[in-house]
Amino acid sequence: MNRQLRANFFVGLVALFWGSTYFLTKIGIGLLEPFNLTTLRFGTAFLVTAVFFHKRILNSDKVTLKYSVILGILAFISVLTMTIGVKYTSASNAGFLISLSVVMIPVISVIFLKKKIKFRLLVSVILASMGIAFLTLNEQLTINKGDLLCIICAFAFALQVLVMEQIPKNADSVAIGALQMGIIAIMNGLISFTTESFKFPHDMKLWGVIIILGIFCTAVCYIMQIYALKDTSAIQAGIILSLEPVFSAFFAFVFLDELLSVKGYIGAVLLFISVILAGVI
């Protein structure tokens, strides 16, 4: 297996793990309160990452701390809206809607950075809008709060990516990522301790969900993504990661018995096509 093929395989694993995040969160949110769950998830991720990169974290400079805080706040918003959002919508819907961040990134660039929009991107945005309508609007042409929260999550994640583009090349991206996870854990922990009944679970099933979310879906995925991007292009990685909502729908079907309506499948296909179009620009 050559280096690029191996790298693309690792990116595919990242998409697979991230696709499982929605149904795992839906299980976890049924047993723990939202802030409690995300505190344990990102606390676990930070501790695991710190074991491997503690020297780089301890040597963080002002630039590293600055971007860690900015990205930590944006990530806190995206994780929070996703965690609560899946409580009020299906895991399948959440996976497809949050994948809209791939489309939102170039759209935000056009609005705020005054970049010209390409025809393919314009087609992508139109398809994505149609996909959202088919997937989320009911007969009364309304959208539920879970779907709306997932769209907000996609927007916050898109902003994270745009901020990452501004990080100086000589900055330690690994330390920034690790500290970002720590900040998310602390922010969720403070809110959980003051507004919820924070607890450590005694159920092995719930600990299994937290470990998979924290280690595999967060810490390991971040490390694999950094490693893989050394040997493959960002465009190829983006296309492969667009498979995330497909994995999300698959896991939701297998573990939660969730099925999309015919209208939902049409919307899902349109969203999938729009994500692919946006990813190859």
Instruction: Please give the C-alpha separations between residue 99 and each of 56, 75, 121, 265, in angstroms, as whole numbers.
Output: 31, 15, 15, 15
Mind listing the pLDDT tens digit for each residue in 94-106?
767 777 776 777 7
Is the pLDDT score of 204 beyond 80? yes
- Angle formed at CA 16 by CA 23 and CA 250, multiple of 5 degrees: 50
- If one compares 84 and 246, the residue with the highest pLDDT of the two is 84
pLDDT reported for residue 138: 60
* pTM for the full predicted model: 0.74
Residue type, 251: F
Is the pLDDT score of 28 beyond 60? yes
Residue partners of 250: CB distance under 8 A and separation at least 6:
19
Is the pLDDT score of 122 beyond 80? no
- Token digits of residue 43: 């606390």
pLDDT band for 281, please (50, 70, 90 cuts): very low
How far does the chain reach from its first CA to its final CA, in angstroms?
27
Mind listing the pLDDT tens digit for each residue in 123-149?
777 777 777 677 666 655 567 788 889
Mind listing the pLDDT tens digit for each residue in 64-76?
899 889 988 998 9
